[in-house]
Structure 1
Amino acid sequence: MKNKKGVQLNQMKRELAQLLETGQERTARIRVEHVIREEKMVATYDLIKIYCEFIVGRLSIIESQKTCPVDLKEAVTSVICAAPRCSDISELYDVRKQFTAKYGKDFVSAAIELHPDCGVSRMLVLFVGGSHEGLG
């Protein structure tokens, strides 16, 4: 998905450059917003990949403990939060279901709704949008 978005992003930048070269600044300004959104999504995919690798590396710890380990909370809650915001990565819904079964609906709802001290990465919130007031 990241590679696909990267190719699209490069094409969009080339088109943006052509618009500027031909003096279509007004159209270029509108397109810049879309380019920025796509760049944030690529950064989001990078962050999600890092969190998923971190989680996979510590699955045995997750399996052995009833509650989410403090050192894994940011990764776990960030992946949960990303699921509905990155709907093009359907596997995130499966991961969210597994964490719901493991930690309960309240834990998952807090991450999705960005409750204070839910643990979701501030960087992820900036990338995917949403209010990050009260995030701890």
Structure 2
Amino acid sequence: MTASSVVTSHTKKFMKLTISIFCPRFNSSKCKTAAKMAVARIKLLRNKREAVMRQMRRDIALLLQSGQDATARIRVEHVIREQNVLAANEFIELFCELVVSRLSIIAKRRECPADLKEGIASLIFASPRCSEIPELVALRKIFEKKYGKDFVSAATDLRPNSGVNRMLIDKLSVRTPSHEGNCQRTSD
């Protein structure tokens, strides 16, 4: 091997490394795998949550029958939270399926397509809020490489025009139920 061929070989390696660092390529297979795995995990979680909610409803009925209204109210709040998480997971599942079906468009365009912005931004928003679906973190990292940190932070921080689905925001928000009207809290 001559000195010039070694230099040429090292130059080519350096150029490839430089291109990979400054121009990261979108890996559609990683994106597809993460999205499909997220969908599979959501289906498993759905079955588990539905079973837990059925049991919680039975417990609430027994508590009401035994006159333990205050405890039953607390359990109802848990059921409502679980229902919200189930609904949020349905949105996430749909957005993952959308991403998988439009991977060719995502791979070709440098900027996030307008018709996919809501789905992608919503998945990014959900990633730190849905720890039971770790594949969302992988998707967030993939989209951060593709669209940049500003796009990701806009969705995560809910900046104006971030594109995050409003219903998903509502379902993932943690708020204490108000005790107004017929649901007055009584002291025992």
- Pairwise TM-score range, normalised by the shorter structure: over 0.9
Q: TM-score, normalised by structure 1?
A: 0.93
Greater relative contact order (Cα < 8 A, sep 6+)? 2
SS in 1 for 2:67: coil
**Aligned counterpart, 1:105:** 149
Deviations 1:16-39 (A, max 9, x none): 111111111010111111110000
1-side partners of 2:46 and 2:88: how far apart?
A: 9
**Aligned counterpart, 1:114:** 158
2-side partners of 1:9 and 1:109: how far apart?
A: 34
**Aligned counterpart, 1:16:** 60
SS in 2 for 1:5: helix
**Aligned counterpart, 1:29:** 73
Deviations 1:48-78 (A, max 9, x none): 0001001100000000000000000000000
1-side partners of 2:55 and 2:62: how far apart?
A: 11
Question: Residue 128 of structure 2 is aligned with which of 62, 70, 84?
Answer: 84
2-side partners of 1:106 and 1:6: how far apart?
A: 37
SS in 1 for 2:154: helix
Query: Which stretch has the larger CA shift, 97-106 or 4-13?
Result: 4-13
1-side partners of 2:51 and 2:159: how far apart?
A: 35
5+ residue gaps, structure 1, are 131-136
Cα shift at 1:100: 0.4
**Aligned counterpart, 1:61:** 105
Quote the RMSD (CA, aligned, Å). 1.2
Q: TM-score, normalised by structure 2?
A: 0.68
Structure 1's consecutive aligned runs of 4 or more residues displaced over 4 angstroms after TM superposition are none
Q: Which has the larger radius of gyration?
A: 2
2-side partners of 1:10 and 1:117: how far apart?
A: 39
SS in 1 for 2:127: helix
**Aligned counterpart, 1:6:** 50
**Aligned counterpart, 1:134:** none
Correspondence 1:51 to 2:131:
no
SS in 2 for 1:115: coil
2-side partners of 1:98 and 1:38: how far apart?
A: 29
Question: Residue 71 of structure 1 is aligned with which of 106, 115, 121?
Answer: 115
2-side partners of 1:10 and 1:86: how far apart?
A: 22
SS in 2 for 1:38: helix
1-side partners of 2:51 and 2:88: how far apart?
A: 16
1-side partners of 2:76 and 2:132: how far apart?
A: 22
